[in-house]
Amino acid sequence: MENNKNKILVTGGAGYIGSHTCIALHEAGYEIVIYDNLSNSSKEAINRVSSLIGKPIEFIEGDIRDAESLRKVFTAHQFFGVIHFAGLKAVGESVAKPLMYYSNNVSGTITLLEVMAEYKVTNLVFSSSATVYGDPETLPINESSKRSCTNPYGQSKLVVEHILEDLATSNKQWNLINLRYFNPVGAHTSGQIGEDPNDIPNNLMPYISQVAVGKLTKLNIFGNDYPTVDGTGVRDYIHVTDLAKGHVDALRYAEHQTTPVGFMPINLGTGKGSSVLELVTAFAEVTGQKIPYQFTARRAGDIASCYASADKAKQLLGWEATHTITDMCADTWRWQSMNPYGYKAS
Ligand code: NAD
Ligand code: UD1
């Protein structure tokens, strides 16, 4: 077995946030092994990350629910820790297929934690979501705000958070850094990697960029009667490159603890909310593209406003988002216009 304390297992590393994080990890001097079943990603993303960092990346195609396959990976490599992105993330699909979501997101995480425990790898960075806060009672949302979810996707994240809390209580060896992402958008500045949704996007930024590139005709804005600045929903959009850097900082934080921290929830957001109309206007201005839109009914399950207090990330990790909405729009557009069909050739 190799002995490399700088080595990180990245589950779901072929996906949107994982691929950007692999670049940030490489730049910070970590060695990466990607483990992904490619259920929502393609090998082309890994090829592009390899060419951006200028060296091949070790990739194992496998499912996090497959303990034997994971054991082979943990036997072959000695990891300092795991960044665990692997999971399913479409809210609507989770309502239609709850068992698939609980199986992937909850059972898969349990299997991964069991194998980590067997191999005494006790540093984990987990992809949680601001969705665990449900409809917030106060803004900005801090890490002690009440948690509640209304759909199976959100529930699966919340259940994993509870599992991690119980695990930390039962055994004091764990560093379980639980990152709650707000709304990740944008792409690597090279335009080589970015978000590549299957079918019609559910999320706002990829929908806007597909309208801009002519794949979709117009944006439906879900509701203009919210109690917000202009009646449209407000969210805390965060550039994926800032998010990626947050994972590196979380690992460094775990590395520097003399006593393990147990379960540590940390928001990753900018602390600033933008409305749908503000994002549409910014995208049109930055890119020079027209974004036709119409107002439609509110989307079921949507909330009016959601933005983070990012103070804890700054205090504990020394992390702060640096990219603006303009950067987010420009980088999304570069990726979308250079890759109108995403990672597919056409
Ligand atoms: P993504 O779908 O692009 O990436 C997830 C990756 O995990 C994919 O490559 C997929 O093939 C892989 N995967 C899924 N199930 C797997 C399994 N059982 N075994 C092995 N690999 C599996 O999604 P993303 O946007 O990069 O999100 C990464 C993580 O962050 C997810 O856990 C998601 O729930 C969470 N998250 C995402 C957002 C967001 O808006 N993108 C917000 C909050 C939290
Ligand atoms: C959605 C998910 C949430 C997930 C998050 C990040 C729902 C109900 N929630 O949140 O669980 O964590 O994505 O992946 O799906 N909008 C439009 N038109 C569109 C798309 C979106 O007007 O075509 C609006 C929405 O009403 C919202 C804002 O844009 O006000 C952002 O939407 P979206 O990108 O889907 O993110 P969230 O709703 O925050």
DSSP string, 45-91: HHHHHHHHHTS--EEEE--TT-HHHHHHHHHH---SEEEE--S---H
Residue-wise pLDDT for 258-292, tens only, equals: 999 999 999 999 999 999 999 999 999 999 999 99
Residue 168 is assigned to a structural domain of this protein: yes
279 domain-assigned: no
Q: Is the pLDDT of residue 2 over 60?
A: no
Ligand 1 pocket member 207 (CB < 6 A): no
Q: Which pLDDT does position 3 carry in this prediction?
A: 43
Q: Is residue 194 part of a domain?
A: no
- Indicate whether 141 pLDDT > 50: yes
Residue 87 lies in a domain: yes
Q: In this structure, is residue 75 part of a structural domain?
A: yes
CA-based max dimension of the chain: 60
Instruction: List Cβ neighbours of 117 (8 Å cut-off, separation of 6 or more).
Output: none
Q: Tell how far the Cα of 346 is from the centroid of ligand 2, in angstroms.
A: 27
Mean pLDDT of the chain: 96
> What percent of the chain clears pLDDT 90, i.e. is strictly above it?
97
Residue 45 lies in a domain: yes
Catalytic residues: 153
Q: How many domains does the chain have?
A: 1
CATH number at residue 72: 3.40.50.720
Identify the domain containing residue 126 by its residue range.
Answer: 7-187+238-269
Which residue's CA is minimally distant from atom 44 of ligand 1? 129
pLDDT band for 1, please (50, 70, 90 cuts): very low
Asked if residue 110 is part of any domain, the answer here is yes
| Ligand 2 pocket residues where CB is under 6 Å | 89, 91, 129, 131, 153-154, 183, 202-204, 207, 219-222, 233, 235, 276, 299, 301-302
121 C-beta closer than 6 A to ligand 1: no
Given pLDDT bands bounded at 50, 70 and 90, which one contains residue 4? low
If we measure between CA atoms, which residue out of 116, 115, 86, 88 comes closest to residue 21?
86
311 inside domain = no
Condensed to tens digits (0 to 9), the pLDDT of residues 209-268 reads 999 999 999 999 999 999 999 999 999 999 999 999 999 999 999 999 999 999 999 999
pLDDT tens by residue, 15-62 = 999 999 999 999 999 999 999 999 999 999 999 999 999 999 999 999
